[in-house]
Structure 1
Amino acid sequence: MTYLIDFLKGIIIGIANIIPGVSGGTMAVSLDIYDRLISSISHLFKNWKASLKTLAPILVGAGVGIIVFTYTIEFLLSSYTLPTALAFIGLILGGIPGLWESFQNGLETQKQTISISHIIAFTLMFVLVVIILPILQESGTALTAIQLDPLSLIKLFIIGIIASATMIIPGVSGSLILMVLGYYYLIINTITLFITALRTGDMDSLLPNFILLSVFSLGVLIGIFLISKAIEFLFEHYSSVTYSGILGLVIASPFAILVNTKALNDLQTTQALPFAVVGIVLLVICYYGIYQLGKNETN
């Protein structure tokens, strides 16, 4: 029965990890499996049998959640872009109070006040998201499809490492990072193409998409084991500065959501008014839901 429960919890975590603005780490904390999950990952090589017993049902469930919900997300983003984007923004904004509280706790723990280092960390991440990344994407580095060449595979591998590092931090969304970096649509599209090719037996599409997903997944796995150690060090020794940077990234992220989804284009269609109204309602609901989830964690 425990395996079934962990499998179902894994499905929820998988769905959370694919929604920009929802933290898989936060969901794991709320489902009371975060400590077990991190401990199993950290001790995988020392106690691999016990670790695999814990990880297997959760990871399989997460995989199922990602596969099933990928199609839903792709449909919503293509057919109802503005309402979906505003819902994502509500999820992002709802997590900011929790991040701010974590930042304040870091200041108290380290007996600090807000300093120039905090302002620099916040500003650098904010500028990175709002100015630098959009300029890079407009100059042609943003791709419409992932190419099967060495340079693209190296980039995809690095993106996997970055995304995995953020997926395990409560309050930070790995999918949001992918969207900020301009790779969210590419990964979603690659997953759906692979699943479709697998279902239809299209070998011409199956192999290249399998290679792309394998490289990304390898980056994710390595990121979980390696980068998480660095993040653990940063939170232990420089938690307030680290949270300053995270706050800068998250507060700037609604801009990245609107740019990367091109959601504002819906305001020029005949559906502008209903899409805007529904989107604002979803924004408020999603904000409240994530805000309450964060409050429950600290109580």
Structure 2
Amino acid sequence: MIQPGIFFRGMAMGAADVVPGVSGGTLALITGIYEELIDTLGGFTPRLLGVWRREGFAAFWQQANLTFLLTLLTGIFTSIALLARLITWLLENHPVPVWAFFSGLILASIFLVLAPLQKRGLVQGLALLAGTVIAVMIGLAPGLSGGGSALVFFLSGMLAICAMILPGISGSFILLLLGMYQPVLEAVKSLQLPLLLAFMSGCAIGLLSFVHILKWTLHRYHDTVMALLAGFMAGSLVKLWPWRVADASGLQDQWFSPAGYAATTGENAQTLFAIATALTAIALVWLLHRLAPVHNDAMTSRQD
């Protein structure tokens, strides 16, 4: 049975994953499904085949939580297919308010991630700092030039999906660093099925490998891991600064004040509009947090 709420959360994740610098994992965290998603993906082990043999397909489906997962994936891929053109158009024609919106989204989310933590000691502080530094280093790294073979798409998918599942580290930005963001986007737009299948295969293998590590750490070191993820989100803000311009190579950004941006580009800095969109995003995060059901509250009681 289709779950509309999960489908639309998937669409939000897909829309975020299209944008370099924004993580779909952040949207999963905001909307209250992140830990259920990690638990579901981490549950794909050979043990499930034993459940199928002993108890039948219905028990296997329920044990694997496939209604949740397939509904979420449908929303993600629907969003990518429908919104890729719109989001790229907005980024090309109205970059300042778009980046300001996502900056507000991330900024508000950091506080929501940190607020429920029961442990706030030195270890969690160091995890927050480490996550911030790592994300800043990724955000400041220069991009590379990419290729277009199926193998490159496969390997890019493996790397990008690990980032996509982490709040604050953008899978699309990893693709940008690899020089594969534009090739993947073009493959989506023109429905180049062999390349898309190679990319999705890489995503599947990378995800199922990485998620077991993430699930294990979340269950045993919940508050420390969440502090680390909040740090990833904080560090990603360096890549979301609205008033920035790519250099001549197109692989590195230059950051400006609103006045400096206007002087450099000759365009309106849209400062008030940017502030309004950021505040709108903050209000939206608060609303989503208030409305989102708690899918998996058992994790919050785990102790480090």
- The residue that corresponds to 2:278 in the other structure is 283
Give the drift of 1:11. Answer: 3.6
Change (3 A) 1:56 1:296: closer
Match of 2:91 among 77, 90, 112: 77
Match of 1:177 among 170, 174, 184: 170
Helix, strand or coil: the match of 2:149? coil
| Counterpart mapping for 1:131-150 below 5 A | 131=137, 134=140, 136-137=141-142, 142-148=143-149
Aligned amino acid, residue 143 of structure 1: L
CA contact 1:77–1:261 (8 Å) conserved in 2: no
Give the drift of 1:257. Answer: 2.2
Helix, strand or coil: the match of 2:144? coil
| Counterpart mapping for 1:216-227 below 5 A | 216-227=199-210
Give the drift of 1:149. Answer: 8.4
Match of 1:239 among 222, 229, 237: 222
Q: Per-residue CA shift, 1:6-65, capped at 9, x if unaligned? A: 7853444433544525634236637xx984895487356545663555544443332111
Q: Distance in 1 between matches of 2:38 and 2:171?
A: 23
Q: Distance in 1 between matches of 2:41 and 2:226?
A: 25
Q: Distance in 2 between matches of 1:71 and 1:196?
A: 7
Sequence identity of aligned pairs in percent? 15
Q: Distance in 1 between matches of 2:132 and 2:88?
A: 27
- The residue that corresponds to 2:299 in the other structure is none
| Counterpart mapping for 1:161-172 below 5 A | 161-166=161-166, 172=167
Q: Distance in 2 between matches of 1:184 and 1:70?
A: 19
Change (3 A) 1:6 1:84: closer
Match of 2:104 among 68, 90, 97: 90
TM-score, normalised to structure 1, is 0.70
Higher helix share: 1
Q: Which runs of 5+ in 1 are unaligned?
A: 108-112, 167-171, 199-205
Match of 1:120 among 97, 113, 126: 126
Change (3 A) 1:91 1:99: same
Change (3 A) 1:156 1:192: closer
Give the drift of 1:292. Answer: 3.1
Change (3 A) 1:237 1:122: same
CA contact 2:42–2:211 (8 Å) conserved in 1: no
Match of 1:68 among 70, 82, 85: 82
CA contact 1:165–1:227 (8 Å) conserved in 2: no
Change (3 A) 1:155 1:87: same
Q: Per-residue CA shift, 1:102-152, capped at 9, x if unaligned? A: 4x23x1xxxxx511x334323332222324652x41xxxx125445386x5
